[in-house]
Amino acid sequence: MKKVKKWGASLLTACLMIVMTAGCGGNAAPSGTSNQPAAAGGDSKPSYNFKLAHITPPTHTWHLAAEKFKEELDKRSGGRMKLEIYPSSQLGTEADMVQQIGAGSVDFGLITAAYLSSRSPSFSAWFTPYAFPDLKAANEARHTDVAKKILATLEQQGLVGLDYLFAGQRVMLFKDKEVLKPEDMAGLKLRVTPSPPLQDFYKFAGASTEGLPLPEVYSAVQTGVIDGMDMDLDATITNKYYEVVKYGAVTNHMVWPAVAMVSKGTFDKMPDEDKQIVRDAIAAAADFSATTRAGQEEEFKKTLSDKGMKIYEIDPALFGPIMKEFDQKYGPTNPLIQEFIDTFRK
Ligand code: BEZ
């Protein structure tokens, strides 16, 4: 009997500790367990301690957007939703992060569409060259049927695609050669994100491509292992590539979206009202990301000129044959890519 009483007391203590831990935030440590809404007492609403991971440094637009998401969650939920942000690949590569989000040990991710194109091919659609005249048009494309259908393909992987956040458009950086037309890239070795549609764009121009991860790019161009790279202006500044390349062609040939996603396990447990708060908060962060970034375009170009780079443009019409080759190769591979091309290629 005495033994049973002792066991009962221990069980009660353990239960109390679990409830208190949930209420104080089950995801306090980077290696914490999946987020559980804290037990609601009476008719009080649940509270949450979410984790979000992404690969960029704290100065990049996506991190600023993550901070905005955090602020919006807190404000819209009346303080019930807290968010811890892990930037700069602190939780691993994008493959690691997606695995953790699928398993529910991380709740949210801002994951490049480029990486996702290797898991769900319709994300390649976003790399249709010259699909949008500017960032504003790309940001508006978030609300189209085809953009939403592409997000929905993530459901089969235990992920809920919420929205797209744009970090400018892609530009071309060259170490020593002023490339004025696609043919000038023949024989150059360029770092291009390891995603087939991005790599094909350059191969169609006659360049050879190296799929180096971002942390290896600076030294590769510095030491001459590569002759240049596909990049965005934001990352050109945050990673100081201006120290090792002379020429920057602001081609804006492709957009560069991160996909905001949430663990299906986390999301399915939330009441509809809280799901809507999450959706509205991320939409506000996505608008913030695109408008902030669009407003920085001229400032970023000036910063790079001031650092000594030659910044110039290349007429998009010169890439006409490459656009055609891209559409012909990628459209037939996937109905959503074809729908994307038909919707946006004017
Ligand atoms: C890149 O791989 O080129 C990249 C990734 C994230 C942000 C910016 C650039």
**pLDDT tens digits along 73-112:** 999 999 999 999 999 999 999 999 999 999 999 999 999 9
Q: Is 235 in the pocket of ligand 1 (CB under 6 A)?
A: yes
For position 167, what pLDDT does the model report? 86
Inter-CA distances, 160 with 47, 109, 167, 260, 326, Å:
20, 10, 21, 9, 29
**CB of 214 sitting under 6 A from ligand 1:** yes
CA of 150 to the centre of ligand 1 (A): 21
pLDDT value at residue 14? 37
Helix intervals (H) in the chain: 2-24, 61-76, 94-103, 113-116, 135-141, 145-152, 196-204, 217-222, 233-238, 264-268, 272-306, 320-330, 335-344
Ligand 1, atom nearest to 213 Cα: 2
pLDDT band at 214 (very low <50, low <70, confident <90, very high): confident
* Partner residues linked to 83 by β-bridges: 50
Provide mean pLDDT across the span 337-345.
97
Helices marked H in 113-186 = 113-116, 135-141, 145-152
Query: What's the confidence (pLDDT) of residue 215?
Result: 86
How would residue 42 be classed by pLDDT, with cut points 50, 70 and 90?
low
With a cut of 90, say whether residue 32 has pLDDT above it: no
Cα–Cα distances in angstroms (integers) from residue 296 to residues 76, 174, 299, 301, in the given order: 28, 22, 5, 9
Write b or e for each residue in 203-238: b if 16 or more Cβ atoms lie within 10 A of its Cβ, otherwise e: bbbebbbbebebeebbebbeeeebbbbbbbbbbbbb
Residue 191's SS3 state is strand
Strands 247-249 and 159-174: antiparallel
Q: Which token pair is 296? A: 């920085």
Mean pLDDT, residues 187-203: 96
Q: What is the mean pLDDT of residues 68-72?
A: 98
Calculate mean pLDDT across residues 51-62.
94
CA of 231 from ligand 1 middle (Å) equals 7
C-alpha span between 229 and 227 (Å, rounded): 7
pLDDT tier, 37 (very low <50, low <70, confident <90, very high otherwise): low
Note the pLDDT of residue 323. 97
Kindly report the protein residue whose alpha carbon is nearest to atom 8 of ligand 1.
235
Residue-wise pLDDT tens digits, 223-245: 999 999 999 999 999 999 999 99
pLDDT at 68: 98
Q: Which pLDDT score is estimated for 168?
A: 87
**Beta partners for 190?**
209, 228
- Strand runs labelled E in 175-272: 189-191, 208-210, 228-232, 247-249, 255-263
Query: Residue 315: left (phi > 0), alpha (psi -120 to 50), or beta?
Result: beta
State whether the beta carbon of 327 lies less than 6 angstroms from ligand 1. no
Q: Any idea how long the chain is?
A: 346
SS3 218: helix
pLDDT of 7 strictly over 90: no
Mean pLDDT of the chain: 89
pLDDT at 34: 46
Give backbone dihedrals phi and psi of 108, rounded to 5 degrees, phi first. Answer: -125, 155
pLDDT band at 43 (very low <50, low <70, confident <90, very high): low
Residues of the chain with CATH 3.40.190.170: 47-167+256-294, 171-254+298-344
Q: Which atom of ligand 1 is least distant from the CA of 60? A: 7
Would the pLDDT of 20 be above 90?
A: no
* Nearby residues of 242 by Cβ (< 8 Å), 6 or more positions away: 236, 248, 304, 307, 308, 309
The answer to whether 209 touches 192, Cβ cutoff 8 Å, is yes
14-23: long-range pairs with CB below 8 Å, 24+: 23/47
Ligand 1 mutation pick, 110, 115, 173, 193, max ligand atoms within 8 A of CB: 193
Query: Which of residues 33 and 205 earns the better pLDDT score?
Result: 205
Q: Report the C-alpha gap between 57 and 3 in whole angstroms.
A: 55
Residue with more model confidence, 30 or 49: 49
**C-beta neighbour count of 15 within 10 angstroms:** 10
Q: Model confidence at 9, in pLDDT bands (50, 70, 90)?
A: very low
**For range 11-37, the mean pLDDT:** 37
Ligand 1 contact via 233 beta carbon (within 6 Å): no
Q: What CATH class has 47-167+256-294?
A: alpha beta
Multiple choice CATH, 171-254+298-344, 3.40.190.170, 2.40.37.10, 3.40.50.1100, 3.10.350.10:
3.40.190.170
Q: CB–CB of 8/19 below 8 Å?
A: no
Q: Does residue 209 have a pLDDT over 80?
A: yes
What are the tens digits of pLDDT across the range 252-307?
Answer: 999 999 999 999 999 999 999 999 999 999 999 999 999 998 999 999 999 999 99
For ligand 1, mutation pick of 62, 112, 218 (most atoms within 8 Å of CB): 112
The answer on pLDDT for 18 being more than 90 is: no
Distance CA 258, CA 167 (A): 8
Ligand 1 atom nearest to 231, measured from its CA: 3
**C-alpha of residue 60 to centroid of ligand 1, in Å:** 10
Report the predicted TM-score, pTM, of the whole model to 2 decimal places: 0.87
C-alpha 19 – ligand 1 centre gap (Å)? 40
- Whether the pLDDT of residue 30 is over 70: the answer is no
Tell me which DSSP letter residue 152 carries. H
Q: Does residue 231 have its Cβ closer than 6 Å to ligand 1? A: yes
Provide the pLDDT confidence category of residue 44 given band limits of 50, 70 and 90.
confident
